[in-house]
Structure 1
């Protein structure tokens, strides 16, 4: 194979965005061969815009079995990602799935198992992994430059969404339509980066989610979570969609200082020696380690979605390792599922989570919301 024929499932906003750079030939070794959508008007628009060069199909399954594509990019609603990926693997196709991987980890685990059995290249659209700022942070932590991680703290409240936004689609901010709120819609990238940059997954989580705070919606739009790690480190994750202006500040404290990402730059407060070594040798009551503050240089670039698609294409054609393997999608989803489950049970949640209990609680929320709508 010298070129990957890509099919896009779902040509809404995200699917159309991916289609544009593929049509323009910006991904080397790939071409947009086909699209599918359940909405006839979207397929008609595709035919009018792209003509015969792109095949159109009324269902994903029809496209999977057509022989027209080698791999598919899934840009459909959250709940549909796992079932469509499993069907694509069964048809012998490579898969690149938009975030989030799914709504609940039990479903995503089945997708991961199908991917492993298929032997096909399986990626997820975690495009923020291509952001040089976060790749630099990961490098600094992995190299030991920060020392052992002691605390993580991410405040990400600049997701302002008005009531008009939520009213723009009946599926928005519903348990049945999206499967959640800010955690599954706005925060999948941050939840992924939180564990990817540090290399740490929590051992347990205690979270407090508020549902429909200052908005007429069913799902969570205000979250404060506290986590504990195996090495003794702790972390806090705070997010919302109603604060204006919001904040995006990611802070990691380690044995050799503190790194902060804010306003698109990395600032490092670096200790001249490890705090643990200073503490072991110091005999002066109020003395502190010497600190150097500086901005960390970060390379330009980071093509975001296009770069992840190029990376996936390279893996198919050349066997290169993926920047964002599809299997990683379950990690960030585990964090969001755990935060909701902790709130619903009003208790600590150990990781790995009780997947059956989460699914049961999710179904209860869907049923409650349906009853409430009928009663209106």
Structure 2
């Protein structure tokens, strides 16, 4: 295949941004040939901007069946991703979906199964996996440089959003419109990176979500979660959208030291001797292993959305491995679903979660949503 012909579904901020770098030829081996949106104003603007070189469709399915595209980039609201992806796979198209993969894991599991049946290339827009900070962290963990992980701790509270942000759209911060708050809207990258860099998924968790804390909204905007891993390690994840100034600090403590990512820097406190070995052989009551502190050099760049689109295009044309396989989108979503379910049930939740139970509880909140009351869904 000389060029992968790409279609985009949804011409909001993200869809328009993806379209622009494709139009400018910034992705080698890819060309934007079609777009679709349910809004006539957006389609008219697309015609004005890109002319006859890009076909416009009011229906995504019509674009899928047009023969104009080989793959589709989905930039639509969260709830729509699985349905639109399944339709694309059934039409023989490759799929790249914006994050999050969906709102609930039962829905995303169906999308993953459709992808497997299709044999097409299926990616998700986890562009932070290309961030050199997190790529280096994953490399260090995978190589055994840190030894066995003992604790993870991520405080990500710099998602400050004033009330005016939530007031900017009636669908924002509603169960019917978005399906959640900070966990589904702001945190998908961190929830993905939390499990991707460590290679660990919790076996159970206890979460405490606050809904509409200091804001007039329906959904969660403050979360504190404690998790336990199979190897005995523990973890904490804290996030919010009302703290100012906020914090973004990711810490991993392990047998051979500690790594902290903060302020776009990675600091490594490296033990000269593994703690487990030192503890086994040491005879002095207040001794500690020798520790070296230094900053890990990190290369620049790598967080652009077009890097994931390039990787997906290369996978289609050249068989290059995907950095962010679409099937892995369910993992971060499983974490956020579990946090909500633990709060709703006021109890511990085991992972994998009870997916039908989560769906049932979510539907109760959708039915009571202000957006549902307005007849908008």
Do these two structures clear the TM 0.5 threshold for a shared fold by scoring above it? yes
Alpha-carbon distance between aligned partners in 2 of 1:312 and 1:41, rounded to the nearest angstrom: 30
Q: Which residue of 2 aligns with 1:69?
A: 69
SS in 1 for 2:337: helix
Q: Does 2:165 match 1:165? A: yes
Residue of structure 2 equivalent to 1:126 = 126
Q: CA deviation at 1:223?
A: 0.1
Correspondence 1:348 to 2:348: yes
1:45 is the counterpart of 2:45 = yes
Tell me which residue corresponds to 2:257.
Answer: 257
1: CA distance, partners of 2:219 / 2:303: 32
Give the CA deviation at 1:304. Answer: 2.0
Q: Is the 8 A contact 2:176 2:372 kept in 1?
A: no
Q: Which residue does 1:248 correspond to in 2?
A: 248
Aligned to 1:236: 236
Distance 2:59 2:178 in 1: 21
Structure 1 Cα separation of the partners of residues 113 and 259 of structure 2: 37
Describe how 1:253-292 pairs up with structure 2 within 5 A. Answer: 253-292=253-292
Conserved? CA contact 2:184–2:336, under 8 Å:
yes
**Alignment partners' CA distance in 2, 1:369 and 1:171:** 10
Question: Is the contact made by 2:366 and 2:372 (CA closer than 8 Å) also made in structure 1?
Answer: no
**Runs of at least 5 residues in structure 2 that lack an aligned partner in the other structure:** none
Which whole-Å deviations, capped at 9, do the CAs of 1:35-82 have from their partners, x for residues lacking one?
000000000000001000100000100100000000000000000000
What is the CA deviation profile of residues 224-277 of structure 1, one whole-angstrom value per residue up to 9, with x for unaligned ones? Answer: 000000000000000000000000000000000100000001000000010000
Give, in angstroms, the shift of residue 371 of structure 1. 9.3
Provide the secondary structure at the position in 1 that maps to 2:368: helix
Secondary structure of 1:79's counterpart equals helix
In structure 2, C-alpha distance between the alignment counterparts of 1:115 and 1:222, rounded to whole Å: 34
Structure 2 residue aligned with 1:56: 56
- The root-mean-square deviation of aligned C-alpha atoms, in Å, is 0.9
**Maintained 8 Å contact 2:33/2:54:** yes
TM-score, normalised to structure 2, is 0.98
Residue in 1 that maps onto 2:216? 216
Deviation at 1:367, TM superposition (A): 1.4
What do the CA deviations read for 1:100-135 (whole angstroms, capped 9, x no partner)? Answer: 000000000000000000000000000000000000
How far off its partner does 1:370 sit?
A: 4.3
3-state SS of paired residue (2:201)? coil
CA shift for structure 1 position 369: 2.3
Distance 1:286 1:183 in 2: 42
CA distance, structure 2, for counterparts of residue 133 and residue 19 of structure 1: 27
Q: Deviations over 1:17-39 (max 9, x none)?
A: 00010000000000011000000
Q: TM-score, normalised by structure 1?
A: 0.98
1:299 CA displacement: 1.4
